[in-house]
Amino acid sequence: NATHIETLKVLSGPNSLEAAGVIADKLQLQYAVDARNLAASWPGLQGKLQASGKLSGKFSDPEVTAMINASDMAYQQYRIDTMDANIIWQDSQADGKADINGFSLPGLQGKSLSMNISGTPEQHDIQILLDASELQLNATAQGIWQAPQWQGQINQLEIDQPEMGYWINVQPIKLQASKDSLRIEQSCFTQNITSLCSTVQWQETNTKITATLKDLPLKTLLQPLAAEAQVEGKLNGELELQGPVDALRGQAQFKLEQGLVTVDAGDDPLTLELRDGLVELHIAPDSNKAELRLKAGTASILAQATTGSLSRGTAARIKGNLNAEIPQLSQVSMLLPELTEVNGR
């Protein structure tokens, strides 16, 4: 069955939608949107939108030509100041450019986001640049589209984040993606002496994620303390998760074999040796467990906690216990610089 549209025009206040063509297994449709005040047609949505283009080819894998201009877009906690995009996706051509200037979403304030694509659906290059207050990203990739799956590799991925610093991939990252699955072969990132490697196999019914962390400087995790003292030591860890997305099971383990905290106290600096540090996490759909073990100088600490499900959308109750033997309480102020004149045992 096919739907033939000679001329369709929909008006809603100052906004209009026009379309003409055929909607069937094979598309041949032209459209134009002129929405000068989105709030007049869609309560809660603000801004202006102009778009025009054409859809053709197979309904399940259409060819697309589109031009989009938007400004002052906002919906709840999401905002886009301006967006300009021109996209051509046809059998013999895949060219596109999209630029967003000024945007915000929960946890991220962005200055700009741009994406460029060139080539053909069967062989194309992609570049993405992100400039935001909490994240800088530069990515280049090559890919092949064979409906319904995209496969290719990310040649370069640079990530710079204020707290975690600058990371870059060691080698190209191969991946396959469709609407139902995602597979990322081993990807490794480095930061100075630190490496982080992971693999991802995602499906709604079965997901598997593994990750290995090597030689992460302890001062990266203890930045407030590192600002007041010299922090030495390296953290190593492993993580494995498996199961349906809404019922993942797995464990994670992070080790600190030895470390050292040195506080400048004039001619006689204070030092605190850290050793045998271990954090273990056990994750399950209905409950989660965490355990921390650490020896600090002459002190030893054991902390354990359990929670209920974290995926039910409700507050999770936490219970646990803390056992600490601290012969010299003055050592506490070395880990918590805001505490002063701490004495006792």
In this prediction, residue 342 carries a pLDDT of 63
Amino acid at 280: E
* Structure-token match 């739907």, residue found: 3
Whether the per-residue pLDDT at 310 is higher than 90: the answer is: no
- Bridge partner list, 25: none
In this prediction, residue 337 carries a pLDDT of 59
Share of the chain above pLDDT 90, in %: 68
Segment holding 33, helix H or strand E: strand 26-35
Whether the per-residue pLDDT at 116 is higher than 80: the answer is: yes
pTM, rounded to two decimals: 0.82
Summary count for the chain: helices (H), strands (E)? 3, 22
Choice among 123-132, 147-156, 186-195, 223-232 with the minimum mean pLDDT: 223-232
Strands 181-191 and 207-217: unpaired
Segment holding 333, helix H or strand E: helix 332-335
Whether the per-residue pLDDT at 265 is higher than 70: the answer is: no
- Alpha helices (H) in 170-327, listed in sequence order: 218-221, 223-226
What would the mean pLDDT of 162-189 be, rounded to a whole number?
94
Closest CA to 152 of 180, 121, 198: 121
* Structure-token match 């549209």, residue found: 5
Enter the tokens of residue 209: 């994620």
Enter the tokens of residue 48: 């202006």
pLDDT digits (tens, 9 = 90+) for 158-170: 999 988 899 999 9
pLDDT digits (tens, 9 = 90+) for 56-71: 988 888 899 999 999 9
Confirm if 274 and 295 have CB atoms less than 8 A apart. Answer: yes
Residue 102's pLDDT band (cuts 50, 70, 90): very high
Mean predicted lDDT score pLDDT of the chain = 90
Enter the tokens of residue 265: 């106290």
Q: Residue 226: what are its φ and ψ, rounded to 5°?
A: -65, -25
Confirm if 301 and 290 have CB atoms less than 8 A apart. Answer: no
